Each structure stands twice: as structure tokens, then as C-alpha cells.
Amino acid sequence: MEVGKKSNRSPLDRVLGRLDDLDEVNLGILVQRLARERKLLETVFDVIRDGVLVLDDKGSLTYSNQQGRSLIGLKEKISEKINIRKVSPEIARALGMDRTSDPSYPEVVMREMQITYPEVRQLRIYAVPIERSEEADNTAEKAGLAVVMSDITEEMDDLNAKIESEKVSSIMDLAAGVAHELGNPLNSINIHLQLLSRNLHLKEKESLKAEKSLNSCIKEVKRLDGIIAHFLKAIRPTDPDFKKINLLQIIGETVRLREKELNAKKISVSMEAGVREPMIQADSEQIKQVFYNIIGNALDAVGEKSVIRIVTGIDDNYVFAKIVDQGTGIKKENISRVFEPYFSTKKSGHGIGMMIVHRIMRDHGGEVGIDSKEGSGTIVTLNFPRKSIRRTMLESNQSDQPGG
């Protein structure tokens, strides 16, 4: 090693590198010290309310704290390795361990999902790959996955009650934002209308200026209409009108709505259907809004002549759709804020598009997840339950009755 150059190795690595120089007594002291430090860390992690799992590159569980074991149904520590696919298939699926065809392994995974074993709970999952550095060639490879699971069941149960108490405040905040957004186009319309009025009194050769001003007014009016439409959908959500619909048909209709924007950037949409007719119980207009918003985000994220992939299929519990782009991706620090109202990384964004997506999917009993890596792209996964949410609620209510 060069003189004056600091080593990137950790203190533990440096100690382990000198094991051959330790005698039996000092080696025993070192082992006891490491055991005490491990015990301390395990005690600290066991009092954390969030579940912590550490998986190796094969998906086998190498560490779990007490809450983590509780959430996946392990009653006590296990001595042998057990694969997460076996102990909790639902979480394995949420982490994408059943994927074989997606373009790249995500840097960060964030999910809100429901598990049914060992009991029905609502979880928020945050997972980050663990990298193993190779000092020889100064590279890093994926060594596993660190998973943090937060039990948000009570939070979700309280959400509907909080919505009513916070509705007035939310509407006021939205109204303030809408008022600001409306100001600029209204001023523009006013100016062009004044110019139009003056030009109408001029000679016929000046009619081109009048037409240009008129077109500007029409464009700004359309912009206002879009702002108001988003505003109304955010503050006046309607109950879904559940009907049996073909998901592929809905996606096709939504892509056609975005056709002009796609053509303008020479972007193609690749449809990869796992089944011919993936049928779901849903409100067709609301599901169109979901895909409209997500495809719009993908359009903003990718460059010209790119491809947006939409992959559909069916598993045991869900009809799923994955919208895959290879655009700018989402920063680590922003991915957990994607569903927050008013949060946007776009200069012209209103910050309520993904909030609407999240609300609609929740009202349909579905799930929405985001896998993203900055600079590589984003995968938005939509899971629609194969059972009607009305039927699920009815069965749940019947099971609560005496003798149910």
C-alpha cells in the first residue's frame, strides 16, 4: 500500500487480516469480544418495532430480528438457512424474486402490500441490495438484500377516519396550488385577448396575428381544463363502478389517448401479454386514469426513440401489469415520497398524479409498487385482485358473523 494512502478496509477487516499473527489467548479474547458485540447488536435490533431481514444472493435468510420473524411467521431463531420463497412467498413475490425477464435488478424496492400469513397484515417494505466489494479489481457485486418491514395495519385502518378530519385542510392546500397554477394562463389569456381585440380593428393583412393570439388562448384554456380536471379528481374521489373488464383493452385505449405525445418523441409502446384476456373487476374509467398517469410519467422520463414496455400476466392471486421504462429513474431519497401529495420531480408537475394512482388502486383492493434505479429506469407494478373487492368484503363480513 502506498505511503499516506488511507485504506478502505474496515477495522474488523484489518483485525481479521492479522489472525495468523494472533496467539491462542489473544484469538480467544477477540472471539469473545466479537460475540459480545454481536449480542449487543442483536439486542438493539430486537427492540426495533420494524422487522429486519437480511437475505443472501440466493434469497436465503441469514439474519432476522424478533419483529421480522414475527411478521413472516417464524416463532424463533433457526439454525439452518431457509429461503424466503418458502417461508413467505408473498414477500418473495413483492421483492421481485420471481422475475426472470426484467431488464435489471432494481437498486431500491418500495412496496405497500397485504400479507395473509401468519395473519392478515398491511406492510410497507423497503429493500436495498447489499454489495460485496472486490478489492482486486475495485468492483462490487450483489451479495444479498437488506429488507425493512413496517407494520402499517393500524395506520391504514385509521386512514379513512383521518381523511375526513383532514379533508378541509387538504382542499385548502390544493385550492392554493390550483389558484397559483390558474394565475399564469389567465394572465396570458387576458393579454392575448386584448391583442386580438386590437387586431380585429386593423387591416385584413393583420389577421394572421389575430389568429396566432386566438390559438394561444385556446391552448391556455386547454391547460386550465387539465389543471381543473386533476383538481376535481383529487378532492372528489368517487366509488368505483365495478364491472368485468379486459385489462389489455383498457391499456390499449389509454395508449391511444397518449398517441400524439408518443409520436412527438418517437416513442414506441411494447405490449407483452402473458394471457389473451386478463379479466378484472374494476372501474374502467378509473383504471384508464391509472395507466394514463403512469405512462405520462414514463414519457417524461425517457428520451426520444425509446421503448416503454407494458407486461401483463396472471399469478395465483393477481392479474398484474408492469410498466417498464429505461429513463432517468428515481433517486433513493425520493422513492419513498412518490405517493405523497404535491411531491413532484418535474418542473411542470402538480404532484398529485401518483397520489391518484395510489388511491384508485387501494379502492380496487389492489397494490402498486415501484422499483427504480437512478439512471437506469423504473418499473411500476400494478396488482389487481382476481376476486372482486365487493365479493372479498362480503366474505370478510360473513366470516365475522357468529358461526361464520
- Domain-terminating residue out of 201, 236, 271: 236
- For 6-20, what is the mean pLDDT? 57
Provide the domain limits for residue 377: 243-392
Which range among 64-68, 198-202, 344-348 has the greatest average pLDDT?
A: 64-68
| Res. 5 pLDDT band, cuts 50 70 90 | very low
* Distance (Å, whole) CA 317 – CA 113: 13
Q: Report the chain's terminal Cα–Cα distance, integer Å.
A: 72
The predicted structure's pLDDT at residue 10 = 55
The predicted structure's pLDDT at residue 392 = 46
pLDDT at 86 over 80: yes
Whether 115 maps to a domain, the answer reads: yes
Same domain, 216 and 299: no
131-135, 183-187, 248-252: least confident range:
131-135
CATH of the domain at 380: 3.30.565.10
- For 160-188, what is the mean pLDDT? 65
Question: Is the distance from CB of 174 to CB of 235 less than 8 angstroms?
Answer: yes
pLDDT at 396 over 50: no
Whether 80 maps to a domain, the answer reads: yes
The predicted structure's pLDDT at residue 346 = 65
The predicted structure's pLDDT at residue 98 = 63
pLDDT at 22 over 70: no
The predicted structure's pLDDT at residue 332 = 78
Which range among 89-103, 152-166, 271-285 has the greatest average pLDDT?
A: 271-285
Beta-carbon neighbour count of residue 293 at 10 Å? 20
- Domain-terminating residue out of 179, 213, 236: 236
Q: Please state, for a pLDDT cut of 70, what percent of the chain lies above it.
A: 70
Task: State the SS3 of the chain.
Answer: CCCCCCCCCCHHHHHHCCHHHCCHHHHHHHHHHHHHHHHHHHHHHHCCCCEEEEEECCCEEEEECHHHHHHHCCCCCCCCCEEHHHHCHHHHHHCCCCCCCCCCCCCEEEEEEEECCCCCEEEEEEEEEEEEEECCCCEEEEEEEEEEEEECHHHHHHHHHHHHHHHHHHHHHHHHHHHHHHHHHHHHHHHHHHHHHHHCCCCHHHHHHHHHHHHHHHHHHHHHHHHHHHHHHHHCCCCCCCEEEEHHHHHHHHHHHCHHHHHHCCCEEEEEECCCCCEEEECHHHHHHHHHHHHHHHHHHCCCCCEEEEEEEECCCEEEEEEEECCCCCCHHHHCCCCCCCCCCCCCCCCCHHHHHHHHHHHCCCEEEEEEECCCEEEEEEEEECCCHHHHHHHHHHHCCCCC
- For 97-120, what is the mean pLDDT? 70
Whether 13 maps to a domain, the answer reads: no
156-160, 286-290, 320-324, 331-335: least confident range:
156-160
185-194, 278-287, 321-330, 366-375: least confident range:
185-194
Same domain, 320 and 359: yes
Same domain, 66 and 112: yes
Whether 401 maps to a domain, the answer reads: no
* Distance (Å, whole) CA 322 – CA 145: 22
Whether 320 maps to a domain, the answer reads: yes
The predicted structure's pLDDT at residue 349 = 58
pLDDT at 138 over 60: no
Average pLDDT, the chain: 78
pLDDT at 30 over 70: yes
Q: How many domains does the chain have?
A: 3
The predicted structure's pLDDT at residue 3 = 46
Q: Taking the CA atoms of the chain, what radius of gyration do you get in angstroms?
A: 27
The predicted structure's pLDDT at residue 252 = 94
CATH of the domain at 102: 3.30.450.20
Give tens-digit pLDDT for 312-353: 999 888 999 999 999 988 887 787 777 776 666 665 555 678
| Res. 221 pLDDT band, cuts 50 70 90 | confident
The predicted structure's pLDDT at residue 165 = 55
> Which residues sit opposite 45 in a β-bridge?
none
Whether 142 maps to a domain, the answer reads: yes
The predicted structure's pLDDT at residue 29 = 75
Same domain, 140 and 281: no
| Res. 309 pLDDT band, cuts 50 70 90 | very high
The predicted structure's pLDDT at residue 247 = 95
* Distance (Å, whole) CA 222 – CA 243: 31
Q: How many residues does the chain have?
A: 404
pLDDT at 226 over 50: yes
Whether 22 maps to a domain, the answer reads: no
| Res. 393 pLDDT band, cuts 50 70 90 | very low
Which range among 23-32, 102-111, 305-314 has the greatest average pLDDT?
A: 305-314
The predicted structure's pLDDT at residue 403 = 43
Same domain, 291 and 181: no
Same domain, 78 and 193: no
Same domain, 273 and 379: yes
The predicted structure's pLDDT at residue 204 = 59
The predicted structure's pLDDT at residue 33 = 79
Whether 359 maps to a domain, the answer reads: yes
- For 271-286, what is the mean pLDDT? 90
- Domain-terminating residue out of 211, 236, 261: 236
